[in-house]
Chain A
C-alpha cells in the first residue's frame, strides 16, 4: 500500500518538472507556431551555462538562476531577431529544419566543450531533505519545491495569457497570424515577448532539471520527447492541462519503473501513444477564456 502511495506521490511531484519543460514548448507550438525541435537541447544548454556559473562563481544553482534568467532572455531575443525573423515561414518545414540544425549544433558544441561526462548541479543539503508525513511515506523536499514552482509559473502564465492586454494579442495571433497582422497587431513584438516567456521556463526548467538529475550533451532528446508528449496529451492552450498531463506521464514512468527499471521511458511512450489513439486532441484541449 505504501509502495503505491510512494509511486503516486513521486509521480505527482515529477509531473511538476515535466510540466515546466512542456510549458515552454506549449507556448512555442501553440502560440508562436514554431516547431522548436531544439527545445530540449536549449534546456540542456541552459543547464550547462548554469553549471559553469555555479561552478566558477562558487554559488548555489538557485543563485545562478538569477544570472541565468537574463542570459537566456538575451540569448532568446538574439536568436529571435537574428535567425527566426529571417526565416521564410511560408513553408512550415523550413523553420523546423532550422531548429533541427540548431539542435545538432548545440549538442555537438556542448560535446566539444564539455565532453560526455554527465554533470549535475549541486544544490547542497536540500537535495537530501525529505519529510515523512505518514509512516513509510517519504517525500523529497526538493521535489515539492519543483512542483510548487511549476504551479506558480503556470498560474502566472495563465494570468498573463487570459487576463492581460498582451494575452489578448497572443491569443489573437495564435488564432490567425494573418488576420492579426491585417488588423494592425504588432506581430513581431508579440512573438518576441512570447518567446521571452518561453525562455523564462527554459532557465527555470534547466536549473531544476540540473539539480534533480544528471545531464550530458545528448540529454536534450529525451527532454524534448517528454515535453512533447506532455504537450500533446495535455492539449494545446490549456496550461493547467499541461500540469495534469505532466503528472500522467510521470506516473506512467513511475509505474513502469516499479515493474522494471528499464521500462520507465517505455511506459511513458506507451501511455502517450495510447492517448494519441483514443483522444488525439489531448485530454484537456483549448478552452476559450
Chain B
C-alpha cells in the first residue's frame, strides 16, 4: 500500500501539554509536508521545546492528536518514534562522554534499528568527524558536537528530522554550514522541522513558519512572505516598539 503523498507527513492537532499547573502547550496545531522545511519560532518558554518533545514522544500530552504519515502516534515512546521514522537532534546536543565521536554517531543505529552502513554517508557529509572518529565525543568543538547529533539522528534514516535549537552557542559560519547540510537533506526528500530562536535564520531556511507564544500559535504563513513586524508582535505578544 503506497502512502498518500498528498497527506501531510506530520499533522499535529490541538495539542495540550501541562507541567503541573503550567500550560506549556495550549492547543497547538501544525503540519509538515513531505520534503518541506517548517520553522517554529518563539522566545524562551514559548513552548517550542515542549512541542518538539511531545512530537517525539518524550513528553506525554494531555489532549490533542499527532498523526505521522496518517498514523496516530499517541503515547509512543521516543524509541518507537525513532523506529517509525522521526529523528531528533536534541537541544543541547546530548553527546555522551563515554563514547567516541564514531560511537556517538553509531548510537543512532541502536535507536532506529537500521543497519550501520550509513556511517559512511555521515562521514561524507561531515568529513571533520571522520578525522576525529576516535576522539572522546565531548572533547570536540561545539559545532562538531552538533554535527555528531545530526549524524546520529540520520543513522536511523528518518523521514522527518526534528531540530531543536541547533544554532545555540555556535559561531555564524558554523551555523551556516549546518543549515547548508539541512538544505541538502531536504533536497534529498527529508522533511525538517526547525525550532529556532534566531528568527531571521529560521525564516530564510524554511518554506513555512509558525510562531509560538505562551503555548499558542500566534502567527503562521509562508516564510517568503513573512512580515517582520507581524513576527515581532507574534514573538513577543502585544505592542512592542
Q: Which A residues have a C-beta under 8 Å from some C-beta of B?
A: 165-166, 168-169, 171-172, 174-176, 179-186, 237, 286, 288-289
B111, B136, B152, B153: the one within 8 Å of A288 (CB): B136
CA separation between A165 and B114, bound complex, in Å?
12
| Least CB separation from B136: chain A residue | A288
CA separation between A182 and B96, bound complex, in Å?
12
Query: Are B90 and A182 in touch, CB under 8 angstroms?
Result: yes
* B residues 55-91 touching A (CB-CB < 8 Å): 56, 58, 77-79, 81-82, 88, 90
- Is B110 part of the contact surface with A, judged by Cβ < 8 Å? yes
10 contacts between A and B (CB under 8 A): A166-B110, A172-B96, A175-B99, A181-B58, A182-B90, A182-B94, A183-B107, A183-B152, A184-B56, A186-B77
Q: Which B residues have a C-beta under 8 Å from some C-beta of A?
A: 53, 56, 58, 77-79, 81-82, 88, 90, 94, 96-100, 103, 106-107, 109-112, 116, 136, 152-153, 156
Query: Are A175 and B78 in touch, CB under 8 angstroms?
Result: no
A165, A182, A186, A237: the one within 8 Å of B109 (CB): A165
Query: Are B98 and A175 in touch, CB under 8 angstroms?
Result: yes
A168, A169, A184, A286: the one within 8 Å of B78 (CB): A184
**Which residues of the partner chain A approach B90 to less than 8 Å between Cβ atoms?**
179, 182-183
**Which residues of the partner chain B approach A172 to less than 8 Å between Cβ atoms?**
96, 98-99, 107
**Which of A168, A176, A181 counts the most B-chain CB atoms under 10 A from its CB?**
A168
Query: Are B111 and A168 in touch, CB under 8 angstroms?
Result: no
Given known pairs A165-B106, A168-B103, A168-B110, the reply for A182 and B98 (CB within 8 Å) is: no
Query: Are B98 and A183 in touch, CB under 8 angstroms?
Result: no
**Which residues of the partner chain A approach B109 to less than 8 Å between Cβ atoms?**
165
CA separation between A179 and B98, bound complex, in Å?
13
**Which residues of the partner chain A approach B103 to less than 8 Å between Cβ atoms?**
168, 171
CA separation between A165 and B136, bound complex, in Å?
17
CA separation between A49 and B94, bound complex, in Å?
44
**Which residues of the partner chain A approach B100 to less than 8 Å between Cβ atoms?**
288-289
Query: Are A185 and B97 in touch, CB under 8 angstroms?
Result: no
